[in-house]
Amino acid sequence: MITRKEIAIVLAMAVLLVGVWLLVSRVESANDGAQTQFVHDAVQNAALTCYAVEGAYPDSLEYLRSRYGLAYDESRYLVTYDAFASNLVPEIRVVEVEADE
């Protein structure tokens, strides 16, 4: 026969497992956001370096890759770089591409 104490232990373990699962999910989500921000910052820093050295913002990501060593995982991140004018800070957007599991 199952006692109340055994039921309480099973329920406590279930609650603990759900809590751990929620914590891990939250940490993974925060980590993904930090990595996306890191890619954004890398693109922005490369553009700012180009502006400081050459006096103009580059017109493409390819220019930053070839001249300033910009590198990121293109299969994981979609980066849009909109340079309106060479003297205005370009608009940079980074989106993490969903991986098929």
Return the HEC string of 31-52: HHHHHHHHHHHHHHHHHHHHHH
- Between CA 60 and CA 88 the distance in angstroms is 14
22, part of any domain = yes
46, part of any domain = yes
21, part of any domain = yes
Predicted TM-score (pTM) of the model is 0.69
74, part of any domain = yes
Nearest residue to 77 (alpha-carbon basis) of 39, 33, 27: 39
Domain that holds residue 62: 4-96
86, part of any domain = yes
Number of domains in the chain: 1
Rounded mean pLDDT of 35-40? Answer: 90
pLDDT computed for residue 6 by the predictor: 81
Please say if the pLDDT value at position 32 is more than 60. Answer: yes
101, part of any domain = no
